[in-house]
Amino acid sequence: FDEKLIHSSEIKMETAALLDSILGKLEDEIRKSLEYNPPDGLAKKDITGEAHKLTVEFLGSLPRVREILQTDVEAAFNGDPAAASKEEVLVSYPFVEAIAVQRLAHELYLKNVALIPRIMSEWAHARTGMDLHPGAKIGSHFFVDHCTGTVVGETAIIGNHVKMYHGVTLGAKSTAGGQKLRGKRRHPTIEDHVTIYPGATILGGETIIGAGSTIGGNVFIMDSVQPNSLVIYDGLDMRVLSKLDKNIALDFQI
Q: Which residues in the 94-123 window bind a copy of itself by CB under 8 A?
A: 94, 114-115, 118-119, 121-122
Q: Which residues contact 33 (CB under 8 A, 6 or more apart)?
A: 113, 114, 115, 116
Query: Where in 30-59 is the site for a copy of itself (CB under 8 A)?
Result: 36-37
- Confirm or reject binding of residue 139 to a copy of itself (CB under 8 A): no
- Confirm or reject binding of residue 250 to a copy of itself (CB under 8 A): no
DSSP code at position 3:
S
End-to-end Cα, the chain, rounded Å = 46
Looking at 31, 103, 106, 133, which residue binds a copy of itself (CB under 8 A)? 133
Query: Where in 162-221 is the site for a copy of itself (CB under 8 A)?
Result: 165-167, 169, 171-184, 186, 195, 197-199, 201, 203, 212-214, 216-220
**In the chain, how long is the greatest CA-to-CA distance?**
80
> Within its chain, how far is the Cα of 140 from the centroid?
12
Residue 135 and residue 109 in contact, taking contact as beta carbons nearer than 8 Å: yes
Looking at 146, 162, 189, 207, which residue binds a copy of itself (CB under 8 A)? 146
DSSP 87-107: HHHHHH-HHHHHHHHHHHHHH
Looking at 5, 43, 244, 250, which residue binds a copy of itself (CB under 8 A)? 244
Least separation, in Å, of the C-beta of 209 and a copy of itself? 11
Distance between CA atoms of 48 and 65, rounded to whole angstroms? 25
- Confirm or reject binding of residue 80 to a copy of itself (CB under 8 A): yes
Residue 222 and residue 186 in contact, taking contact as beta carbons nearer than 8 Å: no
Strands 151-152 and 169-171: what pairing?
Answer: parallel
- To which H or E segment does residue 164 belong? strand 163-164
Query: Between 50 and 88, whose beta carbon lies closer to a copy of itself?
Result: 88
Stretch that binds a copy of itself, among 14-22, 41-49, 57-65, 77-85 (CB under 8 A): 77-85
Least separation, in Å, of the C-beta of 125 and a copy of itself? 7
Looking at 151, 158, 164, 209, which residue binds a copy of itself (CB under 8 A)? 151
